[in-house]
Structure 1
Amino acid sequence: MHTRRFRGPIDLHAHSSVSDGTETPTQLVRAAGEAGLGTVALTDHDSTAGWVEAGVAARDSGVTLVQGMELSTRLQFASVHMLAYLFDPGDAAIVSETARIRAARMTRAEEIVRRIGLDYDLSWADVLAQTTDGATIGRPHIADALVARGHVPTRSDAFAGILHWKRGYYQPHYAPEPLDGVRMIRAAGGVPVLAHPGTRGAEHVIPAERLKLLVDAGLFGLEIDHRENTPDAKVRLHALARQFGLAVTGSSDYHGDGKPNRLGENTTAPEVLDRIIAEATGAEPFYAA
């Protein structure tokens, strides 16, 4: 097994302004170093556009960078996020599918803004003002626009209020099924982990029979140590991890100022990252000097 020890804590889930974080890839990596992390994973939604910039920053800052992505998948009406680590960013299937997802996100965001705009002073231009060029536009940017317009005090308040599905403005977007996501990530040489799979409580944790399908397709682990997983869900997820021999990861899901999550608030064991690197064939981390 490939083994390289890592200095400092390991945080395997963080977002930059390439998707819905508030910091550029460079700023994110520097923030990771300032927070005392030895390793951080850049996992922007459905995009690898920040990898190169973050890699340069990692070499300059002494932080090891694990290149990743948070792939959108969907199981019927439920959104299921899949963390993908160290895959080939040029893989044709990944490139094509993420382009389709990003286009669907854009169309969905425009429709949500149109609906909200019937009841609140909000336009598509307001949303674009909250993004950077090439960013994967999503509901967090709409939330930021609602904050800027003074309709809500914070992004979290926007999601708890106007953007909550019960308010009637919600619109789903295209995403592949989780099983297809796992297969696609593995085919691109990557390592797939289910992101925050216990946010809605133990009763909504993925059933064992469906999880087995993902495991058989190559699922590596479960992101259990995450602030949004409920305590009862964590108990159930640990039992499932033991049952299927899945790795357990922990991370912050950092978004800069976009969420209260702080870098390093949950971390992953070095031996788990060793296993991810050993199984990955699509990319190598940018190691700190």
Structure 2
Amino acid sequence: MPGHARAVEDGRGSAKVERSAISLGEENMVFEETQKGNPHKLTINQHVFPKKSIDRFSDEKGFVQLFRKESSKVIGATSSNSLFCAKRVWDQSTEAGIGKNIEDRFQGLAESILAGSSNVIGHFEKVVVEDFFSLWRTRQKFRAEGLDDFVLEGIEGDSLTKDEQEILERMHVIFCRAGVMPGRFAAGIHVFGYMNTFRQDNQHMQWGIVRAGEGEFIVPDCFQDMMIVPISPKLMIVADQPNSTLTRSEVAVINQTAIDRSTDYYFARNLSQCPVYRDSPPRLHRIFAN
């Protein structure tokens, strides 16, 4: 088994998984720090893939096995680890307003699927899944690229103290300083823009609930252009696929896709239970072949 497949097998077969509740490494991107003690409870560590979703892949002790590409090491990480987060890249309105609304609708659907109450991705479920996938991918883009500040010509802005700025942001109010609006306040506009474009481009796309008959699924930091939404080690929602139960080889193809599309890391409940395979079986070759 070539490439990353071998790295995964080596990592899970011979290397001891290091359990760590601390950060796996801080991002190089500079973020605007809050006042000491963060008195207005602004979200600093913003999850790209939701904490609740990561927790569904955790073992009985609350850890996932995470393979970080930079160090080629498997590490045990909790969903609170800052590697799963951007640092105050988008504003509080996008985090606690738009983002939470999309997340909450998706988590409700995910729980319904896990409970066996929802068995089909129909018209209403399709919107929930696509909005969530678009949000996940957009957050990953924000995390990787950041958001540039805006110079507002002819607008000076009010003279605000740090405390007043944080109060306004907590209330989901945009402000500018000396004619410059912090880039994070544009995040909500981008989220809606990307989401509407994604809906428009995929009006006729159908999604299926896919189950792993054997083995378990790997989750990347983002699937990028592949429309796959993880739910649990045994369940995913996949575009252009009917409801189906996958063979071990087919699970391996999706896992290889997760590895190939990941940027910095990928994780699973137990990597030793996750087959990987580069050559696509015919049934999945059309949508997963590079």
Whether TM-score is above 0.5 comes out as no
Name which structure has the greater RCO, CA cutoff 8 Å, separation 6+. 1
Q: TM-score under structure 2 normalisation?
A: 0.29
Looking at CA atoms only, which structure, 1 or 2, has the larger radius of gyration?
2
Length-normalised TM-score, structure 1:
0.29
